[in-house]
Structure 1
Amino acid sequence: MPFALDDDARALSEMVAGLAARHAGLADTRERFAELAAGAEPPASKALVDHGLHALHLPEELGGGGAGLAELAVVAEAAGRALVPGGWLPTVLASGALQLLVPGHPALARFADGDSGALVLRGLTARRDGEGWRLDGVSDPALGVPGARWLLVAADADEGRLWFLLDGAQPVLVDEPVDLTRSVGRVDGATLGVLTPLAVTGDGDAIGARVDLLVNALLAAEAAGVAAWAVETAVAYVGTRHQFGRPVGAFQAVQHKAAMMLVRAEVAAASAWDAARAETDVPAQQRLAAAQAAITGVHPAVEVALEAITLLGGIGFTWEHDAHLYWRRAISVAAMVGELDAWEGRLGVQALSTERDFGFLEADREPALRAEIADVLDRVAQLESSLTSTAWNRLEPGPVADLLADARLVAPHYPAPYGRAAGVIEQAVIADEFDRRGLTPPSTVIGEWVLPTLLAHGDPAQQERFVDATLRGHVVWCQLFSEPGAGSDLAALSTRATKVDGGWRLQGQKVWTSGAHLADWGVCLARTDPDAPKHQGISYFLVDMTSPGIEVRPLRQATGRAEFNEVFLDDVFVPDGCLVGSPGDGWRLTATTLGNERVSIGSRFQHGAAAGLAEHLRAGRGADSDPGALRALGRCVAREIALSAMSVRSVLARVNGGQPGAEVSVAKVFSALAQRANTRDQLAVVGPIGATSIGGFAAEALGVPAVLFGGGTVEIQLNVIAQRVLRLPR
């Protein structure tokens, strides 16, 4: 998904790309490595200043553009993608932090006029000297220090963090940069004399949280741009490079590596985007967003850039190829964000008291709709019946289900008379109203995938018979697709349907059927023409699960639960009225069902390892001050925030006219891998409790295979990403 989601943001990104193509070609940048390391500004810097991109975020009354962090992040991502050289990023970090610390400071007008700057955050301490302060030590390396006109320097003291604005003309230490396209240097406190601070911030300070957010959001956005370039470059290469008589990109190992690169790049982009959108949030939310951006936004770019080089092979490891320049930028950015362990710990501490808020609607958005929904849900809250049964999370029939179905709130995106044909914003408003009352929106579970197929392809009689009854909880569905010899390869199914008078006779076996032991009806794929090609001759049937000849055998899982089943179909009669579409339409109809399935699964992350681990630490069963436990919690939270950010970002892309794309399969892969990693981190923290049923930690871990397999295995999803999204050859 493009980093820029709306027309204005896309235009801004395209402007940066155009400026980079004209003024920041990598051939020219290569010739300037030595002068760039010394702090000289390349032609690209003047072009960015001429177009106001250096002051995009500064107040209009000071000569700036009056824009926000979201716009700066778009520029940073595009600059990272083009590897724009010079001091744009350190300059906007310095001026942006100064505006946060001392709004309207006179130096901001100088920044707006084109002065360069650098932000020095770590390594210095401050001590009193009479009426002023002296700085001790040598700062950590910081971007853009050599050549900067202004240095905004932080130093730690007993009073808190002190901030000083220094003239960049004073001597600095020039380091040899890893990123050859811009300077890195340090400030020696011994050379500075007595100074007066311009601001003081402390632990938990709101301004400090905003500075952290600014820095991490822009570093993450630039890293996302680097990762995007790496994916595009590697995929283009393996799609055309031939070995062993085939395109390299046709080999599954290569396809999976390329697909995982895209997954990491999309996670990085979503993390950076989430941090940028947190600019107006409260400080606690900003701390969550800043920390997760450092963990899941910045650092993955290093791995993506390295994987690009491995796919490029020897040519990618040469000095002449640009891949190592992007790899160097990723390494440099990851270093500048600071120690990963520290950010994991900070996120863990914040997560003990705060959850990330992913609401994106104003409280007064769609007031008439809100009032209508509020009236219905207030009545729901007064009823004793629950929305769902504890059995397979099915919609429980009764007054609540009837009330919600009458109000067309069970599936508001369905067309009338079953839903409201609600668009993305309307759906979000409805979900927000449920959330305000602590109510879980109803689910028809497998019905959420079946009903769209019936609405799109079923006849009026089928729709009248099944849709409303399902929305009221009277019909529960299962999906009879997978077989012992046809799991992810559904088209290889062998269940047969033979035409008889008035209907069809089904013979075969299905497996891994979720909830079949509780279902009233099932959707079944069966082969009606055994002589047709593999993806043809398949038909789509609605099967009454009480029909003679059906035997359901629950499969007990490693967890001890029995949620999946074998289903045996022995001469099961299905009337003609339960064939959806025409004979042979099954595969086409299945695409509708699976398409809805992937959207549903990919848009949710209900694992909850972070919440469980946080509760464990808060309850005192673990050491809530133990750095290792807090880092583990931070990693779990970062993964869950990144996945939720991808989901919200996808929704907003649709609001702006986009369609679901790569993010659907990407989210499915990342959700499964995140759950696997989260359970591992969880068990590593809880210790001996993991050998018991206490807290459900072992049960979470034992349930991971269901996530890795469900909705298509990770490997199948990687195939989908590689072949359908990245367009690699089969």
Structure 2
Amino acid sequence: MPLPLTDDQRALAESVAAFARRSAPMESTRATFDDSAAGARPAFWEALLRQGLHALHLPEKHGGADAGLVELAVVVEQLGRALVPGPYLPTVTASAVVAAAGEGALRDELLAAFADGATGALVRSTGLRAESVEFGWTVSGSSEPVLGLPGADVVVVRAEGADGPVWFRVRAADAAVRTESGTDLSRSVGRLELEAYVVSADEVLPAPAPDLVDVTVNSLLAAEASGLAAWCLSTAVEYVRTRVQFGKPIGSFQAVQHKAAMLLVRAERITAAAWDAARSAGQPAEQQRLAAAQAALTALPLAIDAALECVTLLGGIGFTWEHDVHLYWRRAISIASSVGTEEEWARRLGEVALTAERDFSFVDADALPELRAQVGAVLDEVLTLPPDPVSSTGWASARGGPRMARLAEAGLVAPHYPKPYGIGAGPHEQAVIAAEFARRNLPQPTTIIGEWVLPTILAGGTPAQQERFLTPTLRGEIVWCQLFSEPGAGSDLAGLSTRAEQVEGGWKLNGQKVWTSSAHEADWGVCLARTDPDAPKHKGISYFLIDLRTPGVDIRPLVQSTGMAEFNEVFLDDVVVPDDCLLGEPGQGWKLATTTLTEERVSMGGMLPHGGARLVKRAIAEGSYATSRAEAVRVLGRNTARELSLGALNLRSVQTLLAGARPGAEISVQKVYNALAQREGSRGILTLLGPLGTLTGSSVDPASDFVLDHIALPSVLFGGGTIEIQLNVIAQRILGLPR
């Protein structure tokens, strides 16, 4: 999914993409490498100015369109996808930073120049020092390499003064610019070299807020990275779909499919990070700090990986000078390098994450006041009731208590369900309800496995089945388990062998299920069994509701490597299930198993059960690490970045729903990356422990123990289908690669 979400943004993206195709074909870009490296204006510059793309984000009174940073990022993404050469990105970055500065004559002058079509560059470098003198400042030093500096008409500079940064304008005619040989062949790069350069008071720019500068720069670079990754994805997928080896398209080989699917995962994360950074421009400084670091730490490095993966999928042809992919690869390296090191951004994100969390809410604090008051009154009443019991093992459901019963009565256990079970809450309403729970530090209730079971009963059950099971489950009086996996089938649910034979008044089931979460604590289970052994794999399967107290049900806990027994193997020996516990018709089991309600629960944020930021923060607070504090903070930064990736993907899914569309690839990406992020994050925590990793705490709660947090990972990596199975789904169903 590209960066734009609204109809207006999509129309803008289509217009810019068409302009890029007409004005900057790749053969023209290749023919003008020398001119681009020298900073010359490309031939299409005047046409770009006529389109107003250079001034989209500038204030209307200065000749701009007063659009936001997200709209500017949409333009940058599309131009990046076409690898449009020249000074556009450096120019709009410089002008956006000037627009963020305080009011003043110099700001007005520079904005007018940018609106008239001046090119620009932004120089932010620790290599430049400003010294206060009677008439202003003198500046000396040499900057780091700056994109777009050679050839820039307006050079905006930040230098380090004794009391903080000094922002000023350097007149291009007076600047000493050393042109360098750039990694990106389609854009100039150089160093600004100043020796006692005199800056008069009227050349000083009111300092823009530093966090706003960071998020402006990083979101635009990330938007270009999103465009680069999108091109790499489409190019690689088209190639592997048509390239034939061993008599088959190479896109039919699983190894190739997985590489292509992971390329999609990277591209979606890049886009989400760029979008989240751009939208943070209007948020408090702390939020901008989180989003800017996330863009630098996620989007920009991943663009390099995406380009390299494209090369490997293209094979030898991708490694030749003639193929365009190396130009995208070079640009990805260039823009990622321009913001500084990943280690520094990991440190910066870790420091802010110690005390702040990203706000992924999408409704105003005063939105839907009547609903807030209604929900708030119920929650205040709930807080006066005795706490409900908690599960004795892991994350399993506990028996309901007075609090869950009251919430179920009010339709707040699953507010997205239709009445009388919920309140039919859409995304906005769910967000308001979640905010009211959070305001009271009250966890939102969950039925765990019931989250999958109840929507299926709602969609395919009879009124009697709905009445029998929904309300008691929402009250916590019925705990469910899911009898799907089998020893011989694993992730291949369609290959199950449990049989159901019709008998008088019902069905007799025989078979074995395994890895059944919480079966030892559950009251009922949903079971897939084959009712027609002659039907093809996905057909002939039916969906049963089994009372686990029925004779013939034998539940045997499986002790995990953590020492806990959250999973079970379940044996069904002539278990009789009455007719009224068959859900739907015989043979509809597969369809029912994949059913969810149209209005699904909205997920906000991306807190990870394993390898999450909360564990790293706890380790830092307790001093439970053997490395330096700086390294512990960097690990926190990386783990936080993973959670922010998921939070941004979740929010984009919600915004897609609000725009009237159905979410696309980001749903599958969330499933894959959630598992990957937990694996990477948990492994990152282990790197901090040193000799402390020889010890474990209690096996009662693996999530509270640093080592057991890692050992418990298989439940995440296998549950709901392995990462590899999910990659197959992405490759075949989303990317359309041949089976």
TM-score, reference length from structure 1: 0.96
Give the drift of 1:396: 3.8
Matched with 1:133 is 137
State the alpha-carbon separation in 2 of the partners of residues 641 and 632 from structure 1: 14
Alignment of 1:708 onto 2:732: no
Matched with 1:198 is 204
Matched with 2:37 is 37
Matched with 1:249 is 251
Which range is displaced more, 390-399 or 138-147?
A: 390-399
CA contact (8 A) 2:57 2:69 kept: yes
State the alpha-carbon separation in 1 of the partners of residues 27 and 510 from structure 2: 67
Matched with 2:549 is 546
Give the drift of 1:511: 0.2
Matched with 1:60 is 60
State the identity %. Answer: 57
State the alpha-carbon separation in 1 of the partners of residues 376 and 539 from structure 2: 48
Matched with 2:167 is 163
Matched with 1:459 is 462
Give the drift of 1:399: 2.4
- Correspondent of 1:423 among 407, 413, 426: 426
- Correspondent of 2:292 among 290, 293, 299: 290
Which range is displaced more, 250-259 or 60-69?
A: 60-69
2:658 aligned partner, one-letter code = V
State the alpha-carbon separation in 1 of the partners of residues 598 and 397 from structure 2: 21
Q: Secondary structure at the match of 1:109?
A: helix
- Give 1:280-679 correspondences, 5 Å limit: 280-386=282-388, 389=391, 392-394=395-397, 396-592=399-595, 605-607=608-610, 609-622=612-625, 626-679=629-682
Q: Secondary structure at the match of 1:122?
A: strand
State the alpha-carbon separation in 1 of the partners of residues 569 and 17 from structure 2: 55
Give the drift of 1:595: 10
Give the drift of 1:524: 0.4
1:707 aligned partner, one-letter code = V
State the alpha-carbon separation in 2 of the partners of residues 388 and 597 from structure 1: 26
State the alpha-carbon separation in 2 of the partners of residues 402 and 598 from structure 1: 20
CA offset digits 1:478-535 (Å, max 9, x no partner): 0000000011000111111111111111111000001101110000011111111111
Which range is displaced more, 398-407 or 613-622?
A: 613-622
1:639 aligned partner, one-letter code = R
State the alpha-carbon separation in 2 of the partners of residues 686 and 283 from structure 1: 33
State the alpha-carbon separation in 2 of the partners of residues 264 and 602 from structure 1: 19
Alignment of 1:186 onto 2:179: no
State the alpha-carbon separation in 2 of the partners of residues 497 and 598 from structure 1: 33
Give the drift of 1:599: 9.0
CA contact (8 A) 1:601 1:668 kept: no
Matched with 1:693 is 696
Give the drift of 1:622: 4.3
Give the drift of 1:660: 2.6
Give the drift of 1:413: 1.3
CA offset digits 1:318-345 (Å, max 9, x no partner): 2222111111111111111211111111
2:297 aligned partner, one-letter code = I
CA contact (8 A) 1:45 1:87 kept: no
State the alpha-carbon separation in 2 of the partners of residues 195 and 182 from structure 1: 31
Which range is displaced more, 128-137 or 17-26?
A: 128-137
Give the drift of 1:625: 6.8
State the alpha-carbon separation in 2 of the partners of residues 668 and 424 from structure 1: 20
Give the drift of 1:675: 1.0
State the alpha-carbon separation in 1 of the partners of residues 389 and 63 from structure 2: 55
1:322 aligned partner, one-letter code = D
Matched with 2:21 is 21
CA contact (8 A) 1:499 1:505 kept: yes
Stretches of structure 2 lacking an aligned partner (at least 5 in a row): 698-703
CA contact (8 A) 2:85 2:186 kept: yes
Give the drift of 1:404: 1.2
State the alpha-carbon separation in 2 of the partners of residues 601 and 353 from structure 1: 19
CA offset digits 1:334-386 (Å, max 9, x no partner): 11121111111111111112121212211121122112111111111222223
CA-atom RMSD, angstroms?
2.1
CA offset digits 1:283-304 (Å, max 9, x no partner): 1221111111101111100010
Alignment of 1:227 onto 2:232: no
CA contact (8 A) 1:617 1:623 kept: no
CA contact (8 A) 1:450 1:593 kept: no
CA offset digits 1:522-569 (Å, max 9, x no partner): 000111111111111111111000110111111111111110100000
- Rate the CA distance shift 1:274–1:129 in 2: closer, same or farther, 3 A: closer
Which range is displaced more, 133-142 or 719-728?
A: 133-142
- Correspondent of 1:259 among 243, 258, 261: 261
Q: Secondary structure at the match of 2:429?
A: helix
State the alpha-carbon separation in 1 of the partners of residues 278 and 388 from structure 2: 38
Give the drift of 1:704: 1.2
